[in-house]
Structure 1
Amino acid sequence: MSNFQIIQEDLSARARLAYLRTDHGVIETPVFMPVATQAVFKGGLDSDDARSIGAPIILANTYHLYLRGAVPIIKRAGGLHKFMNWARPILTDSGGFQVWSLGKGARKNSLCKIDDDGATFVSHLDGNAHRFTPEIAVQIQHDLGADIIMAFDEASDEASSYSYTKEAMDRTHKWAERCIAAMSNYKSQITNRQLLFGIIQGGRFKTLRKKSARIISSMNFDGVAIGGESIGYNMKRTAEILEYLAPQIPKEKPIYAMGVGFSPADFFTVIERGVDMFDCVAPARIARHGLLYSKGAGSKRGHRINLMNARYKDDFSRVCDWCDCRVCVTYTRAYLRHLFKADEMTAFRLATIHNLRFMLKVMEEIRASLKDREFARLKREWILRA
């Protein structure tokens, strides 16, 4: 049986409801994955908090866990799930994007040197040199015990030339084959079923993107991710890329748009173009600045309010009447603003709990709408709200 099963498809778009089976549970997609970079969430949230807000799956960062020297410790603990007391699925990235971003694709940059075998980079923590190859990236993620492992890839930015972008894409394809081979060596050694996703590259060039989609989709991957600097960051470009890429990917493979989830509108943009999974650090990142999601704020404001504004000083209403998080049930906008103004750490924690729960609740609504064939109506409700 396939690990990915489509339950229902939308009649007017590529949106779909599906199940992705892992050893730590079945994930109902489309799904938003909160980011636990170093096996913990920003804002002082722990695994209990993530459970309480309804996170079905989380994402951990291979690059940062590796540089902290945590990988052998996590392996001895029995994997990330036992280490952080998290029984639900975990996806780990390969570290490719973080390594590439040290040099932003420029091989002359001393922080990162990329060759056909892998990448040598300098730690931002202590200045020591390290080496990642496709085999090492797979081994680290295997040792972490992730349910979903990402292939090691090389990204390219929007300013990269066609020749460099093609070179990086071709290298990504060769590395993808090596990741598959490395995974096959582990399958006889493990009792659990770890899934491996390949990553489409090609930068800003449509011909390269489509070629990469065809090649990665034809490989023996359990899922396909769409990577690159613009994905999630530039939603207009993201929509354009997905519009022509999604039809290139077989329906039986889940699609993961890396870095998407800055606003509820972003969810609708990618889901209606066939995306099943996405992650984003934005909900926690903006929380530390007093930016909180509120449905009543409307799509033009990204469904966000800025609690640092003076207008909320005497606002004793909830952050969002629609949200069911414990922050909205318990505290007022005025109180949260007071905490931010007083530089209390609790402000960041409560704001992060709210923002993550808000986004997860949006996803719950979207999945329910797909079951009831009400996706188009729900999109209008969210996007057309002034």
Structure 2
Amino acid sequence: MTAAFDFALEASDGRARTGRITTPRGEIRTPAFMPVGTAGTVKGMLPESVRATGADILLGNTYHLMLRPTAERIDRLGGLHGFMNWDRPILTDSGGFQVMSLGALRKLDADGVTFKSHIDGSKHRLTPERSMEIQRLLGSDIVMCFDECPSLPADRDRIAASMRLSMDWAARSKAAFGDRPGHALFGIQQGGLERDLRAESAERLRAIGFHGYAIGGLAVGEGQAAMFDCLDYAPEQLPADRPRYLMGVGKPDDIVGAVARGVDMMDCVLPTRSGRTGQAFTRHGVVNIRNARHADDPRPLDAACGCPACRNYSRAYLHHVSRAKEIIGSMLMTWHNLQFYQDLMAGMRGAIAEGRFDAWQAEFHAARAEGDIPHP
């Protein structure tokens, strides 16, 4: 297996693309959905169970891992892959999103951010250089530049200042990343919903040069219509021969819309978080398994799904264990949701390769519009 990081497009259908990212730890089929393993675990799942759903890559969280158990400890124990028993590729975010979400716990300046731990109030400092160091200690295969983005809506001056700060940090991240064969560094485009600011960001990132490019600063309160308006141009501002990663997205129809607009990679906590609260994603929309209508239903959650929740258990049982807050309820519902997302990605990859993505999209939306199966 080659030690190089590489990306090859295999087919396009309209703006939708399918391809393959090569890493020393294995290939990533695109479009790819990355389950989120925030603290070194995908909640409610064993690593081998996550792999069984078809996931090629996981996401780890720099901010949470640096606080607990610390990147230095993970490094001493052999790196994040061995620590969490996942031998496939891992992408780590930079900590930038937590910079935005910490609010009163952080102080931002041109050099980086100082913040208090949400766990114990201890003081920490994150800079582009420290973010690169943490991600090197973790041993992640794909490293994200340290960035900063405002919540939307925000005024243009705030968005512009944030974008330009992030571009300065991108250059510092690249310098600190250094030469790491087999590992990749992704730049992050910012600029809110301002087309010219997105173009400026993309131009600066291209000048620095990265293995891949992310579209950041979306799915932060702007709504789907505004996000899609931005995705109508943002992906094409980035190099066509590199992976394009839309950060923090999203619902199934968000993902389909993003792929239709040229996005290759996505991540989101939604399938796992929803599973733990009794929500299931199915071909016919979202099902709240805790609803009383499922209490006597012997049918599977989704007859077309091959996950253990659908193969081996009834809606009535899933309703019972979810209402009773039994751990198996969270496990089964999470497995189902992750399986649904990976099946969704596989369906899109196949449709793009066969040149029938428009028809596939129409079938996807039509099935969701039908709604859940009728009450028995």
TM-score norm. by structure 2 comes to: 0.94
Structure 2 runs not aligned, ≥5 long: 370-376
Q: Who is 1:27 aligned against?
A: 28
Q: Who is 1:199 aligned against?
A: 188
The question of 1:225 aligning with 2:214 is answered: yes
Q: Which runs of structure 2 are paired with 1:70-109 in the superposition (5 Å)?
A: 70-103=70-103, 109=104
Q: Who is 1:338 aligned against?
A: 320
Q: Secondary structure at the match of 2:107?
A: strand
Aligned 8 A contact 2:144 2:186 in 1 = yes
Residue 297 of structure 2 aligns with an amino acid whose one-letter code is D
- The 1:49/1:2 distance shift into structure 2, 3 A limit, reads closer
Aligned 8 A contact 2:351 2:360 in 1 = yes
Q: Which runs of structure 2 are paired with 1:1-386 in the superposition (5 Å)?
A: 3-10=6-13, 13-42=14-43, 44-103=44-103, 109=104, 111-184=105-178, 187=179, 192-230=181-219, 234-263=223-252, 265-295=253-283, 297=284, 303-385=285-367, 386=369
Runs of 4+ in 1 over 4 A off after TM superposition: none
Aligned 8 A contact 2:5 2:182 in 1 = no
- The 1:118/1:224 distance shift into structure 2, 3 A limit, reads same
Give deviations 1:72-119, integer Å, cap 9, x for gaps. Answer: 12111221111111111100000011122112xxxxx4x111111110
Q: Who is 1:106 aligned against?
A: none
Residue 8 of structure 2 aligns with an amino acid whose one-letter code is Q
- The 1:56/1:233 distance shift into structure 2, 3 A limit, reads farther
In structure 2, distance between residues paired with 1:323 and 1:365: 13
Aligned length: 365
| The 10-residue stretch of structure 1 (373-382 or 203-212) with the greater mean CA deviation from structure 2 | 203-212
Structure 1 runs not aligned, ≥5 long: 104-108, 298-302
Aligned 8 A contact 2:152 2:221 in 1 = no
In structure 1, distance between residues paired with 2:150 and 2:193: 9
In structure 2, distance between residues paired with 1:214 and 1:168: 16
| The 10-residue stretch of structure 1 (130-139 or 66-75) with the greater mean CA deviation from structure 2 | 66-75
| The 10-residue stretch of structure 1 (214-223 or 26-35) with the greater mean CA deviation from structure 2 | 214-223
Aligned 8 A contact 1:155 1:229 in 2 = no
Residue 256 of structure 2 aligns with an amino acid whose one-letter code is F
Aligned 8 A contact 1:154 1:168 in 2 = yes
Aligned 8 A contact 2:21 2:29 in 1 = yes
TM-score norm. by structure 1 comes to: 0.91
In structure 1, distance between residues paired with 2:248 and 2:112: 23
In the TM superposition, what is the alpha-carbon distance from 1:262 to its structure 2 partner?
1.7
RMSD after superposition: 1.5
| The 10-residue stretch of structure 1 (160-169 or 119-128) with the greater mean CA deviation from structure 2 | 160-169
Determine what percentage of the aligned residue pairs are the same residue: 42
Q: Secondary structure at the match of 1:384?
A: helix
Aligned 8 A contact 1:327 1:353 in 2 = yes
In the TM superposition, what is the alpha-carbon distance from 1:231 to its structure 2 partner?
5.6
In the TM superposition, what is the alpha-carbon distance from 1:217 to its structure 2 partner?
2.9
Aligned 8 A contact 1:232 1:258 in 2 = no
In structure 2, distance between residues paired with 1:233 and 1:348: 30
Q: Who is 2:372 aligned against?
A: none
Give deviations 1:7-47, integer Å, cap 9, x for gaps. Answer: 1111xx211111111111111111000000001011x2121
- The 1:39/1:131 distance shift into structure 2, 3 A limit, reads same
In structure 1, distance between residues paired with 2:7 and 2:337: 29
